Structure 1
Amino acid sequence: MDTRDGARPVGQPLIIPIFIPHMGCPHQCIFCNQRAITGKTAQTPSADQIQQAVRRFLKYGKKRPSTTQISFFGGSFLGLEKKTIRSLLGAAMPFVRAKDVDSIRFSTRPDTISQESLNLLDGFPVSTVELGVQSMNDQVLDAAGRGHRASDTVVAADLLKNRGYEMGLQMMVGLPEDDDDGAMETARRIAELEPDFVRIYPTLVLEGSQLAGRYRDGRYHPMALAACVTLVKRLFLYFDTHHIPVVRMGLQASDGLTSSGGFIAGPYHPAFGHLVHGEMVLDAISSALDRMEKRPDPLTISVHPCMVSRVQGLHKQNISRLKKAFDLKKIVLHQDGCLAKDYLMVAGQHVTLPQTMVR
């Protein structure tokens, strides 16, 4: 099976996830319960299991992906035993040789990155490495039980860049001992490392985590959803000004995260990223209306068809908020396929959105 031929139109990148929950992690971070997140137990997947999973994913979709990667997620990949690392990479290798898959990626802790550990990857088609940074504040890292320093992230980023890997950095908001200013400082220090992309995760209280006990006895208070959305919006815009794509906002949980009882409290929403994008669009439209001496009513907003849901907001909340804030009786959305996705027309005025939010 060759997914790289030109028989099908090209679609979005495909990442094939292979979960290794909590494997290779020397610490149990206070927020962590990988089984609740992934629905998987800590067990090394066999070569046969990996290959079955990859074949299953390669069958999906009418369009061939622009790129395809096998990704080892959920644990700390370079914290595994050497023979396990080689075994997992070896199970993925045949798909790259057959050109069904372009490369391999994985996530790992910053303190697992060294010249020696990266040497283990020699001969394997690994192209992307993600680091679970979480924070660049040592006090926050200590409170979260991470067991590494911010300096470990700086060293790891330098090693990965020197080896030519695509590098992603993951950060968290709402950790104990952290606040909005601390999160923005983490973003600033992450941007200095020039990652190729970033993920932003809210801290959630999961059953089976140490944070659950602290939450129940009142020692930890998770962020409210609205406050978290606003903070992540600020972070997104900060990274955007530094030309760093934010590829995910919010936890990519299994379908069973809430139904299984794994989730207890915190700013979880299945459409968290949509909430963030919606608030950015709301801000942009509100700013345009603030500049108008006279606001037409009904107000017409022209938008590319694919951006309608973001203009409306979840459950059309943006429309309701705009009507209330600007005393408007009616708002008309006009779909215009000729408009660029990062442009709106608000009563004839051009409004520009961050390009990275429409990719």
Structure 2
Amino acid sequence: MHARDDARPVGQPFIIPIFLPHMGCPHQCIFCNQRAITGQSAQTPSADQIQQAVRRFLNYGKKRPSTTQISFFGGNFLGLEKETIRSLLGAAMPFVQAKEVDSIRFSTRPDTINPESLSLLEGFPVSTVELGVQSMNDHVLDTAGRGHRASDTIVAAGLLKNRGYQMGLQMMVGLPGDDDDGAMETARRIVELAPDFVRIYPTLVLEGSQLARQFREDRYHPMALAACVTLVKRLLLYFNTHHIPVVRMGLQASDGLTRAGGFVAGPYHPAFGHLVHSEIVLGAISSELDRMEKRPDPLTIFVHPSMVSRVQGLRKQNIDRLKHSFALKKIVLLQDAHLAKGHLVVAGEKIILP
């Protein structure tokens, strides 16, 4: 059995995470400290622990999307011992058989994908595989200590596609030796591989990582938050143009990052994705105002209720920037539930967000 024949289209499934911090990794990349990210130490979870974790999420009362997946994150899944792989999948499988969960997914390194490793998945309801690509530039990969090449990603993507798996590719921005042009080139090469979805992560300096030492020795300078948001906005718009969903931008807020000592430096924000979307909205409104010969003041903007925060920006920064840039005294936001979420009406002119 390869990928599940009834695998559903990629949307935003309800993810039940099982963290395997740094497990299966042949070495530690310079940016990595999975314990700081997950707040957990490296220890293979038992079948009982997995089943308890899944049951806890399933019993959570909040209404879930139609698709639910058990996900093994944080390590190099196919780099684990064969028996460990089978044991972990075997612990998750009964929930799929009972139709409580739709399928299983995991993340792994590109250089662990080969016919032999994929044969281990036969008989298990795995539908989605994520690859930690990080960059498609071999120099950047070498500098980051990844230990694989861009060519490994190309081969892995082909194998996953041929076997019918849904494929997600994860990229990073701000790695040592990389720049904005390099990130855009990685995005272009990722598009050529036709993934089902993408994640974009800023490079952060985490305590216990090699990058932390380089930062303290003034040999690595992380991206500023504003510059990182602008770059990730460009990447998001590029992937949108090619109809590839970006399902996450930035690391999730976690105890490991927010507690004292986990996070050292870099473009971290608990609402990083919101910052990116807000900058897209600001750019769209600014472009429309630039086209107007005469701008009304007060300026009225109609917006779907769910989009108000993106239009306002964090701490209403978008409103302040619009007032300053266009010499406006007042901006009025009016909610209109009949508007599509991606539409705005600015001074009577409809804007469709990219």
Normalised-by-shorter TM-score class: over 0.9
Alpha-carbon deviation of 1:260? 3.0
Letter in 1 for 2:26: P
| Matched residue SS, 2:133 | strand
Contact 2:132/2:169 (8 A) holds in 1: yes
Alpha-carbon deviation of 1:92? 0.2
Contact 2:82/2:120 (8 A) holds in 1: yes
Alignment correspondent of 1:100: 100
Alignment correspondent of 2:325: 325
Contact 1:232/1:276 (8 A) holds in 2: yes
TM-score (norm 2): 0.96
| Matched residue SS, 1:248 | strand
Supply the distance in 2 between the matched residues of 1:62 and 1:266 (Cα, whole angstroms). Answer: 33
Alignment of 1:143-222 (within 5 A): 143-222=143-222
Alignment correspondent of 2:256: 256
Supply the distance in 2 between the matched residues of 1:186 and 1:168 (Cα, whole angstroms). Answer: 14
Whether 1:142 aligns to 2:146 is: no
| Matched residue SS, 1:91 | helix
Unaligned runs of 5+ in 1: 1-10, 355-359
RMSD (Å), alpha carbons: 1.0
Letter in 2 for 1:160: L
Unaligned runs of 5+ in 2: 1-10
| Matched residue SS, 2:243 | coil
Alpha-carbon deviation of 1:256? 3.4
Alignment correspondent of 1:71: 71
Contact 2:199/2:249 (8 A) holds in 1: yes
Contact 2:200/2:232 (8 A) holds in 1: yes
Instruction: Please list the CA deviations of residues 192-223 of structure 1 after superposition, one character each: whole Å capped at 9, or x if unmatched.
Output: 00000000000000000000010001000000
Supply the distance in 1 between the matched residues of 2:64 and 2:252 (Cα, whole angstroms). Answer: 23
Alpha-carbon deviation of 1:60? 1.4
Alpha-carbon deviation of 1:12? 6.2
| Matched residue SS, 1:221 | coil
Contact 1:12/1:66 (8 A) holds in 2: no
Supply the distance in 1 between the matched residues of 2:255 and 2:316 (Cα, whole angstroms). Answer: 24
Instruction: Please list the CA deviations of residues 171-210 of structure 1 after superposition, one character each: whole Å capped at 9, or x if unmatched.
Output: 0000000000000000000000000000000000000000
Alignment length (residue pairs):
344
Letter in 2 for 1:279: E
Alpha-carbon deviation of 1:66? 1.1
Supply the distance in 1 between the matched residues of 2:35 and 2:131 (Cα, whole angstroms). Answer: 20
Instruction: Please list the CA deviations of residues 252-275 of structure 1 after superposition, one character each: whole Å capped at 9, or x if unmatched.
Output: 242231223110000000000000
Alignment correspondent of 1:25: 25
Worse-superposed segment, 56-65 or 76-85:
56-65
Supply the distance in 2 between the matched residues of 1:82 and 1:273 (Cα, whole angstroms). Answer: 37
Supply the distance in 2 between the matched residues of 1:316 and 1:288 (Cα, whole angstroms). Answer: 19
TM-score (norm 1): 0.95
Letter in 1 for 2:300: T
| Matched residue SS, 2:279 | helix
